[in-house]
């Protein structure tokens, strides 16, 4: 059976700063989808990660379905009214346009979706991250789908011998979706050359070269490109099918033990380590650290099981400890050097203004002149 798995997430307001949505707002999203999904969705789950709410759903309408996207948009709109009524911080933050226009891409919410031919058993993972941007998934995807040091299946499972195709988007290009398909393993160095630049190139999708099936769908929204200014971080979601012809669940999770440094800590302007957390985790230290959660599901005829919280395990307690140390370490150098994002990526205009003010006070001195 052909089924579409769609994840749509938005920040529509949170309690006590950019920390977590209120119970009433979450209920409002859930109730709206519950009351309006008949004839559109087969199943759905609502969750949150930091201040972002995700609607994960299944249906048979294909990707970019107007009905499905409108349902999510309307649910977020309705719940935004509750957020306003409660005086939540950043109510409606990610709903950047007033009117719905066909689908939610380009309107603010993040979208990750793929249409699949359901396998007899269809396990998949749903990742949601907060206080970071889509480039945060570049390294874990590279390691899980192209590096046998992390994905033993590339050596042990004949159906993965041919490797995977990475579809990479240039998110700095705003005229159209500028994408390139590169094949692992033969284009490995080209894939690496692009993916190292996490603010410009992000993985949009990955396909099995053995079967042509899509394995990964990740959101690529850059809110600044839509709003023209900083309105919040791009907090990405991602769907990854696992097992069989694809990496095992544990191979996809493994790279997250690194707690690699990503953009998005405090005001979307600092670098911090990505901490794997349990579902429905909140935000704290320095508006972070950047976090990622993972819910594991099986889907059958579009019906979702209950989620298993993939980072809720004693192993990840130890990892969180180590990642907290990395967070403190980089915070010790405040705004200096690589602790704060480069000028081109800064999400606030304050430093640009400062340079403008200082500009007339600069003087040009000849190289030969004495100090």
CB of 88 to ligand 13P, least distance (A): 11
């309006």: which residue's tokens?
A: 36
Separation between Cα atoms, residue 212 and residue 201, nearest integer Å: 23
Chain centre to alpha carbon of residue 147 = 21
Q: Which is nearer to ligand 13P, 8 or 182 (CB)?
A: 8
Of 31-39, 71-79, 139-147, 229-237, which segment contacts Mg ion by CB under 5 A?
229-237
- Quick one: what does residue 268 bind among Mg ion, ligand 13P, none, with the CB cut-off 5 to 8 Å set by partner type? ligand 13P
Which position among 233, 235, 261, 297 bears the catalytic label? Answer: 233
The residues binding ligand 13P (CB under 6 A) are 11, 18, 50-51, 90, 93, 130-131, 232-233, 235, 248, 250, 266-268, 287
Considering the complex, what minimum distance in angstroms separates the CB of residue 51 from ligand 13P?
5
The verdict on whether 230 is a catalytic residue reads yes
Q: Angle between the 138-146 and 188-195 helix axes, to the nearest 10 degrees?
A: 170
Q: Which of 12, 22, 44, 51 binds Mg ion (CB under 5 A)?
A: 51
**Does residue 353 carry a catalytic annotation?**
no
DSSP string, 257-325: GG--EEEEHHHHTEEEE-EE--TT----GGG---EEEEEEEEEETTEE---EETT-SHHHHHHHHHHHH
Instruction: Indicate if 233 belongs to the active site.
Output: yes
Please check whether residue 267 is in contact with residue 347, taking contact to mean a CB–CB distance below 8 angstroms.
yes
Show the tokens assigned to 270.
Answer: 């600092």
d(CA 68, CA 71): 5
Q: For residues 219 and 268, give the distance between their C-alpha atoms in angstroms, rounded to a whole number.
A: 17
Task: Pick between residue 47 and residue 65 the one whose CB is nearest to ligand 13P.
Answer: 47
Contact partner, 287, from Mg ion, ligand 13P, none, Cβ < 5-8 Å per class: ligand 13P
Q: How far is the CB of 133 from ligand 13P (least distance, A)?
A: 9
Q: Which is nearer to Mg ion, 113 or 130 (CB)?
A: 130
Rounded alpha-carbon distances, angstroms, from residue 170 to 194, 198, 321: 9, 10, 34
When binding is defined by CB under 5 A, the residue of 113, 130, 133, 187 that contacts Mg ion is 130
Residues at the interface with Mg ion (CB under 5 A):
11, 18, 50-52, 90, 130, 235
Active site residues: 11, 230, 233
């Amino acid at each position: 059976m052909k089924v579409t798995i769609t994840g749509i997430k938005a920040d529509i307001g949170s309690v006590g700063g950019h920390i977590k949505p209120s119970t009433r707002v979450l209920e409002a999203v859930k109730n709206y989808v519950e009351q309006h999904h008949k004839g559109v969705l087969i199943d759905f789950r609502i969750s949150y990660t930091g201040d972002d709410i995700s609607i994960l759903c299944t249906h048979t309408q294909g990707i970019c379905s107007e009905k499905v996207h409108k349902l999510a948009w309307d649910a977020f709109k309705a719940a935004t009214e509750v957020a306003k009524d409660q005086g939540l911080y950043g109510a409606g933050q990610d709903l950047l346009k007033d009117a719905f226009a066909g689908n939610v891409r380009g309107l603010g919410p993040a979208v990750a979706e793929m249409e699949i031919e359901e396998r007899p058993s269809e396990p998949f993972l749903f990742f949601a991250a907060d206080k970071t941007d889509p480039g945060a998934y570049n390294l874990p995807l590279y390691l899980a789908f192209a590096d046998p040091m992390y994905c033993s299946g590339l050596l042990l499972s004949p159906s993965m011998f041919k490797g995977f195709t990475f579809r990479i988007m240039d998110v700095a290009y705003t005229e159209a979706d500028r994408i390139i398909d590169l094949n692992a393993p033969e284009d490995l160095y080209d894939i690496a050359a692009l993916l190292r630049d996490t603010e410009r190139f992000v993985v949009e999708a990955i396909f099995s070269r053995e079967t042509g099936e899509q394995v990964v769908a990740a959101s690529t929204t850059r809110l600044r490109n839509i709003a023209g200014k900083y309105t919040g971080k791009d907090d990405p979601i991602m769907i990854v099918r696992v097992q069989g012809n694809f990496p095992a669940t544990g191979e996809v999770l493994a790279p997250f033990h690194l707690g690699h440094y990503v953009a998005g800590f405090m005001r979307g302007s600092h670098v911090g380590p990505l901490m794997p957390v349990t579902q429905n985790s909140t935000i704290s230290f320095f508006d972070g650290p950047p976090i990622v959660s993972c819910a594991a599901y099986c889907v059958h005829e579009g019906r979702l099981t209950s989620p298993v919280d993939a980072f809720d395990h004693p192993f990840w307690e130890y990892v969180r400890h180590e990642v907290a140390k990395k967070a403190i370490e980089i915070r010790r150098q405040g705004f200096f050097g690589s602790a704060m994002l480069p000028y081109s990526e800064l999400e606030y205009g304050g430093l640009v203004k400062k340079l403008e003010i200082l500009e007339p006070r600069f003087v040009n001195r000849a190289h030969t002149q004495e100090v």
